Structure 1
Amino acid sequence: MITIHLRYEIDADRLEDFREYGRRWIALVERFGGTHHGYFLPSEGDSDEAFALFTFESLAAYERYREDAAVDPECLEAYRFAQETRCIRRYERRFLSPLFSAESSDTEATTGR
């Protein structure tokens, strides 16, 4: 399993546009087989930083999603929307391996730790 963590630097004056962008991608990621864990928008503190998390069963599944999204009309429209509204200034992508509490119990049972 692989979780993708996105950190966005957004235009705080375009927050509603970014919110619309996020709504679109939640549905798109799920349509392509991922599990979207949501967008996390500024509330207090930095007004120009937002985050998103979504998971695919493997890095290969994520790569397939990226290839398919590159030619999908709805995905291309979502990209275009972000470019036209300039709601995103830049973003960073990280790949993470999640650890869930059930896994830590399994590890403790088999390793004695």
Structure 2
Amino acid sequence: MSLLCCIRYRIDPFKREAFETYAREWLRVIPACGGRLLGYFMPHEGTNDVALGLIEFDSLADYEAYRARLRSDEGGRANFEFAEAERLILGEARSFLRRVEA
């Protein structure tokens, strides 16, 4: 059974371009650290302060190992620091979902 980590970001709507830069960096870093990135999704119509990141893992243990690698990855650390310095993320929530199968 694989798990989908759904990260829901509440972003500063005036810093959407900066958040998109942040999201683009994860497109390289997340796969290098072991996550199967399904994508980052930016606001388009409607709500202008919600973005999503979707990453798949084989298990919760694989997610925990990924998080450890992410914290020690130079690009990952730099991206976290960029987001903090720019103050572009106002809130973040993670949900772990499993696929419904027949």
Smaller-chain TM-score bracket: over 0.9
Aligned to 2:57: 56
Aligned to 1:83: 84
Q: CA deviation at 1:48?
A: 0.7
The structure with the largest alpha-carbon Rg is 1
Unaligned runs of 5+ in 2: none
RMSD value over aligned CA atoms? 1.1
| Structure with the higher strand share, 1 or 2 | 2
- TM-score using structure 2 length: 0.92
* Percentage of matched positions with identical amino acids: 37
Number of residue pairs matched by the alignment: 101
Aligned to 1:42: 43
Q: Deviations over 1:48-86 (max 9, x none)?
A: 111111101111111001111112211110000100111
Secondary structure, counterpart of 2:72 in structure 1: coil
Unaligned runs of 5+ in 1: 105-113
Poorly superposed stretches of 4+, deviation over 6 Å:
none
Q: Does 1:27 align with 2:28?
A: yes
